Amino acid sequence: MIPPALLDRVLFTEEQVNTRVAEVAAEISARYRGKDLKLIGVLKGSIYFLTHLSRHLTIPVKIDILAISSFSARWQSPGLVRIEKDLDEPIEGQDVLIIEDIVDTGLTLRYLLQTLAGRGPNSIAICTLLDRTSKRLVQLPVEYRCFEIDDSFVVGCGLDHRQLYRNLPYIAALRRPE
């Protein structure tokens, strides 16, 4: 589905993604059993991972979604993030797990963490499908990660290139995204 000229290589097959997501879901189910867990997804990329992960959870969970615009790299204004659509419900007193597709510089997530922490949750933690620690600009506590990746630009499992390829069930590195 990715044009051969654009595809570099498949980093994680559908089977590898499924296995790893199930493993992480088992860890989360064990850690939050008996708690009031809310998964918070960030539009658009993390929605695929949130859905996949939540299907493997064996505890009751609620979900809520927010949308942000991030100007991290493109506009050279590091960390400038704006909430375009806020959560539907308060998170006060709840155990919150932020679900991310990829943590790169960490600037987007730092803003989210600070904003949500100010709303009085009982606990707040991060779960990401992909982690690129080599590019991190701010230290963040990432409690759950499925895969660590290198510098290549990746698509699939929610991640896009010009809004395409989010629906691929595997994770692929692209050659040279414009």
Contact positions vs ligand 5GP (CB under 6 A): 45, 70, 72, 101-109, 153-155, 159-160
Q: Whose CA is closest to 32, among 94, 115, 114?
A: 94
- Are 171 and 157 in contact, with CB atoms under 8 Å apart? yes
Shorter beta-carbon distance to ligand 5GP: residue 61 or 100: 100
Distance in Å, CB of 30 to ligand 5GP, minimum:
27
Shorter beta-carbon distance to ligand 5GP: residue 41 or 45: 45
Give the tokens for residue 154: 């990746």
Distance in Å, CB of 23 to ligand 5GP, minimum:
22
Q: Say whether 101 is catalytic.
A: no
- Are 27 and 170 in contact, with CB atoms under 8 Å apart? no
Distance in Å, CB of 101 to ligand 5GP, minimum:
5
Q: Which of 88, 104, 131, 150 is catalytic?
A: 104
Phi, psi (degrees; rounded to nearest 5) at 90: -65, 160
Name the DSSP letter for residue 134: G
Please report, to the nearest 10 degrees, the dihedral formed by the alpha carbons of residues 154, 57, 39, 17 taken in order: 0
Shorter beta-carbon distance to ligand 5GP: residue 26 or 43: 43
- Are 107 and 138 in contact, with CB atoms under 8 Å apart? yes
- Are 122 and 99 in contact, with CB atoms under 8 Å apart? no
DSSP secondary structure string for all residues of 69-115:
EE-TTTTS-TT-EEEEE--SS--TTSEEEEEEEEESSSHHHHHHHHH
Distance in Å, CB of 63 to ligand 5GP, minimum:
18
Residues involved in catalysis: 104
